[in-house]
């Protein structure tokens, strides 16, 4: 697999985590390479600019709670302030004040603004956290010290007004190129070629290296044409300076683990959640005797199953009070965002097919697609059960962590109610060290026939079974008749007795 595919996928996630439009980071990387050629950068410098353009915001999930306390919903804030110069307090502070006093009377509004100003004094710490986390993640991704040293200069500006007070050529040339490319992309997004020229001109000598801006202005149409293409993803992959970097299986695993850390950092309640889910799901998949390639994909899917979490404000994830309907809907959307992020890379397709089903439930009550049982393969069922078990064992803002036995009991209730797959639940609980009652494959029943028998034993009609399993009533009837034949019974009550004898009701 190409490294660019992995970093590009992470870039799409950072777009979602900062409120930017999809592919903003990819376009910035394309522009950076074009600008690097105009500035006669070496192949190494252009490659660094290409990757820096994508890695700049990988620390954006750090200190999300503080950012949310200042901006409200930090994702919405990023979305609504596109085009502003974040390095200019005269632009940003009034916007923050407008947001915090919105809907309040004069007195409460004044108090809110005073509180926001106090918190804004801490935002320098947030910027430092973003840079430090980005550097650590880049190290995990295998980038060398030269690129990582440039990455921590992300919040510096040509005029020295940035985070580290570096100015001019003290800022690494590839990062200066990435800075200019980012503002070209923003300007082009908001106003096409004219917008890109206007923004670069406005920030020339302030946030941006004037010599690089001048090179852009001399060839603005050609540079912008590089991102005015039918497929940005294809153009992005083609733009990577030679030699294109490939990664092996071990490096893929580390890259996916890095993405897991990126998403888990979003909330203080989910630190380490995704790797724990991944390992538990893989262990359960092995117990379920899934093929080795599927076990590998289940583990990798566990690392990525919550990647879309970054698109939802930290204030929602960390909220102790009951969520509003709108907040619940936002949480449901996070799996859709994850699906969109993972959809670009063909190399991640088999992993994405599993990861994006982690929050579905067999009774159709999950999200975001509300799929029925027939659409959830065994690998996805195991991942869903592993995710639930780990979540129950972790503290959440509205409840303490469950004790392991209590978590196991809760999962069994969910399986009995039809949300989780009983077989997957049993495998996950066994992998977690719980004693579980094995589901016996009595009389040669198929997996689907076991599902039908379980529902039949609970008293569901053929029509209700069909609805639950997303099959036709006629097909459900055929399954029931086959079950009767294999169990050597002729009534539903007798079939229920046989189910209970073999533990197939749980």
Specify which residues 204 forms β-bridges with. Answer: 208
Do 10 and 262 contact (CB within 8 A), yes or no? yes
| SS3 category, 95 | helix
Q: Residue 79 has what pLDDT?
A: 86
Q: Residue 282 has what pLDDT?
A: 98
The CA dihedral of 117, 120, 121, 126, to the nearest 10 degrees, is 170
Do 394 and 247 contact (CB within 8 A), yes or no? no
Tell me whether the CATH fold assigned to 3-65+125-230 matches the one assigned to 249-431: yes
* Terminal CA-CA length for the chain: 42
Residue 71 tokens, joined: 């901006």
Q: What are phi and psi for residue 175, nearest 5 degrees? A: -70, -35
Packing angle, helices 378-392 and 404-416, rounded to 10: 140
Do 245 and 205 contact (CB within 8 A), yes or no? no
Q: Residue 289 has what pLDDT?
A: 93
Do 221 and 193 contact (CB within 8 A), yes or no? yes
Scan for tokens 């399954």, then name that residue.
Answer: 479
Share in percent of the chain as helix, strand, coil (round to 5): 65, 0, 30
- Convert 427-453 into a string of H (helix), E (strand) and C (coil): HHHHHCCCCCCCCCCHHHCCHHHHHHH
CA separation for the pair 165, 317 (Å, rounded): 34
Of 135, 154, 132, the C-alpha closest to 144 is 135
Do 343 and 350 contact (CB within 8 A), yes or no? no
Do 190 and 206 contact (CB within 8 A), yes or no? no
CATH topology of domain 442-501: Arc Repressor Mutant, subunit A (1.10.10)
Of 3, 8, 9, the C-alpha closest to 303 is 9
- Convert 352-395 into a string of H (helix), E (strand) and C (coil): HHHHCCCCCCCECCCCCCCCEHHHCCHHHHHHHHHHHHHHHCCC
Instruction: List the chain domain ranges.
Output: 3-65+125-230, 249-431, 442-501
Reported as type and span, the H/E element at residue 143 is: none
Do 345 and 371 contact (CB within 8 A), yes or no? no
Do 280 and 428 contact (CB within 8 A), yes or no? yes
Residues 458, 462, 467, CA angle at the centre, nearest 5°?
Answer: 90
Of 348, 367, 502, 344, the C-alpha closest to 422 is 502
Q: Residue 406 has what pLDDT?
A: 97
* Regions of the chain with pLDDT less than 70: 119-124, 437-441, 503, 505-506
CA separation for the pair 319, 81 (Å, rounded): 24
The whole model's pTM is what? 0.85
Q: Residue 412 has what pLDDT?
A: 94
Q: Residue 438 has what pLDDT?
A: 58
Packing angle, helices 64-71 and 89-101, rounded to 10: 70
| SS3 category, 69 | helix
CA separation for the pair 84, 75 (Å, rounded): 15
CA separation for the pair 301, 293 (Å, rounded): 12
The CA dihedral of 328, 333, 334, 335, to the nearest 10 degrees, is 120
Reported as type and span, the H/E element at residue 40 is: none
CATH 1.10.3210.10 fits 249-431, yes or no: yes
Say how far residue 396 (Cα) sits from the centre of its chain.
19
Q: What are phi and psi for residue 208, nearest 5 degrees? A: -115, 150
| SS3 category, 38 | helix
Residue 144 tokens, joined: 């060398």
Q: Residue 66 has what pLDDT?
A: 77
How many CA atoms lie within 13 Å of 292's alpha carbon, on the beta-carbon side? Answer: 0
Cis previous bond, 351, omega within 30: no
Could you say which DSSP state residue 291 is in?
-
Instruction: Pick 3-65+125-230's CATH classification: 3.40.50.720, 1.10.3210.10, 1.20.120.1200, 3.40.50.980.
Output: 1.10.3210.10
Cis previous bond, 243, omega within 30: yes
What secondary structure does DSSP assign to 192-244, as a single string? Answer: HHHHHHHHHHHHBTTTB-HHHHHHHHHTHHHHHHTTSSS-HHHHHHHHSPSSP
Residue 254 tokens, joined: 């580390």
């Amino acid at each position: 697999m190409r490294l660019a595919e992995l970093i590009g996928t992470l870039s799409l996630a950072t777009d979602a985590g900062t409120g930017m439009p999809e592919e903003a980071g990819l376009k910035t990387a394309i522009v950076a390479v074009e600008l690097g050629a105009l500035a006669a950068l070496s192949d190494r410098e252009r490659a660094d600019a290409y990757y820096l353009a994508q890695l700049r915001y990988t620390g954006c999930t750090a200190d999300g709670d503080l950012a949310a306390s200042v901006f409200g919903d930090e994702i919405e804030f990023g979305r609504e302030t596109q085009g502003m110069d974040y390095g200019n307090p005269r632009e940003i502070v009034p916007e923050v004040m407008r947001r915090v006093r919105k809907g309040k009377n004069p007195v409460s509004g004044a108090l809110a603004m005073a509180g926001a100003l106090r918190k804004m004094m801490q935002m320098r710490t947030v910027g430092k956290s973003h840079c430090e986390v980005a550097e650590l993640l880049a190290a995990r991704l295998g980038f060398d010290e030269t690129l990582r040293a440039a990455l921590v200069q992300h919040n510096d500006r040509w005029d020295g007004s940035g985070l580290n007070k570096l100015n001019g050529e003290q800022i690494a040339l590839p990062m200066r190129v990435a800075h200019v490319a980012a503002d070209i992309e923003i300007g082009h997004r908001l106003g096409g070629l004219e917008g890109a020229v206007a923004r670069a001109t406005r920030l020339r000598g302030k946030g941006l290296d004037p010599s690089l801006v001048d090179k852009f202005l001399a060839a603005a149409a050609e540079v912008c044409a590089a991102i005015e293409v039918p497929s940005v993803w294809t153009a992005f992959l083609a733009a990577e300076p030679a030699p294109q970097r490939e990664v092996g299986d071990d490096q893929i695993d580390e890259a996916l683990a890095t993405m897991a850390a990126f998403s888990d950092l979003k909330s203080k309640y989910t630190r380490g959640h995704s790797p724990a889910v991944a390992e538990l799901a893989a262990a359960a998949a092995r117990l379920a005797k899934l093929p080795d390639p599927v076990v590998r994909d289940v583990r990798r899917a566990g690392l990525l199953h919550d990647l879309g979490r970054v698109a939802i404000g930290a204030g929602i994830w960390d909220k102790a009070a009951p969520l509003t309907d709108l907040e619940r809907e936002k949480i449901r959307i996070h799996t859709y965002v994850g699906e969109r992020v993972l959809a670009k890379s063909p190399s991640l397709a088999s992993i994405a097919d599993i990861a994006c089903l982690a929050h579905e439930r067999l009774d159709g009550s999950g999200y975001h697609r509300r799929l029925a049982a027939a659409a959830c393969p065994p690998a996805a069922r195991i991942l869903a059960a592993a995710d639930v078990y780990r979540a129950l064992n972790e503290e959440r803002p509205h409840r303490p962590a469950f004790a392991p036995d209590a978590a196991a009991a809760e999962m069994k209730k969910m399986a009995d109610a039809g949300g989780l797959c009983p077989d997957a639940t049993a495998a996950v609980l066994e992998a977690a060290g719980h004693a579980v009652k094995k589901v016996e494959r009595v009389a040669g029943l198929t997996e689907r026939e076991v599902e039908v028998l379980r529902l039949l034993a609970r008293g569901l009609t053929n029509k209700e079974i069909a609805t639950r399993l997303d099959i036709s009533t006629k097909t459900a009837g055929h399954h029931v008749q086959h079950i009767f034949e294999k169990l050597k019974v002729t009534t539903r009550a007798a079939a229920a007795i046989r189910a209970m004898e073999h533990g197939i009701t749980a």
